[in-house]
Amino acid sequence: MDKQDHTKLLQLQSAELTAPTAFCPDDQVIAEYFDGDLPPAEKDKLGRHLIDCGFCLARIGILERLEQNHGNKRVPEDVLATAKQITRITPRRRPAIAPAWATAAVVLIALFAIFNIRDLVQEPESIPLVVPSPEVNSRQLRNVSPSVTHLKVFTPQPGAGIAPGSLIEWAEIPGNLHYNIFVLSNAGDVLWTERLAATDWVLDESLQLAADNQYYFRVEALLPDGRNVSSKHVVFQVTER
């Protein structure tokens, strides 16, 4: 094996070693020293450097291990002995590169574990304790329909114009305690709210709503179990009588 091959081997292998110093020669010089091709002056200079440089000694040890069966005797025995000792004591193994599928499997397993642990330690959702008021009886509780998600408003129709004194009507929710109605401005301000037992309400003239302005109506039913079933906001306009 010539010094060119030795240089390439050093470039591949020396990544395992400790960091070089500012005085360490390049791989070409180490390879020439190993092959006995350095001029005497440079050989003596490198020999003095090798006295206290573990990095360069380890590089020589790498080359010696690679050619230990070829009877290489061009490096002094004391230098070779020290180099062998360093490379035996402080070898570094390159981490094995896992296949892409193995890495992906590890990531999926980790994510699965994280989400399952989070679910295990997550506090349970608090369930509100509902204490029925005295006027709520067992029949009301049985009549509550859990499938109702929205309360339907019959009148006014969305976008329709209604005059003060007109009747606003909505669907009945069986077993409710009462209804809360809201009239809101176009900016979302509550202009009127009232609690009712019936399923209709007359647009109160005392509201003094401006003609041709947009307003919103919403109604919600309070159920004995503490839930509210609410309608969507229905937009309407006020017209003259």
pLDDT at 60: 82
58 and 149 inside one domain: no
Rg of the chain taking only CA atoms, in angstroms: 44
pLDDT at 90: 44
Looking at the structure of the chain, the number of domains it has is 2
pLDDT at 99: 58
234 and 165 inside one domain: yes
164 and 73 inside one domain: no
- Could you report the per-residue pLDDT of 57-95, keeping only the tens digit for each? 888 888 777 666 444 556 677 666 666 666 554 444 444
231 and 143 inside one domain: yes
- Could you report the per-residue pLDDT of 21-30, keeping only the tens digit for each? 888 998 888 8
68 and 158 inside one domain: no
Distance CA 65, CA 62 (A): 5
Q: Is residue 111 part of a domain?
A: no
pLDDT at 192: 94
Domain boundary pick from 89, 113, 129: 89
The domain that contains 229 carries what CATH number?
2.60.40.1220
Write the Ramachandran bin of 159: left for phi over 0, alpha for psi from -120 to 50, otherwise beta.
Answer: left
pLDDT tens, the chain, 241 aa long: 455 655 655 554 555 556 788 889 988 888 888 888 889 999 899 888 888 888 888 888 887 776 664 445 566 776 666 666 665 544 444 444 555 655 666 666 666 555 554 554 444 444 343 444 444 444 444 444 445 678 999 999 999 999 989 999 999 999 999 999 999 998 889 999 999 999 999 998 888 898 888 999 999 999 998 889 999 999 999 988 7
pLDDT at 151: 92
State which residues form the domain around 197: 138-238
146 and 232 inside one domain: yes
71 and 162 inside one domain: no
DSSP the chain: --HHHHHHHHHHHGGGSPPP-TT---HHHHHHHHHT-S-HHHHHHHHHHHTS-HHHHHHHHHHHHHTGGGT--SS-HHHHHHHHHHHHHS--PPPP---HHHHHHHHHHHHHHHHHHHHHHSPPPP-PPP---TT--HHHHHH--TT---PPEEESPTTEEE-TT-EEEE---TT-SEEEEEEEETTS-EEEEEEESSSEEE--GGG-PPTT-EEEEEEEEE-TTS-EEEPPPEEEEE---
149 and 226 inside one domain: yes
pLDDT at 196: 95
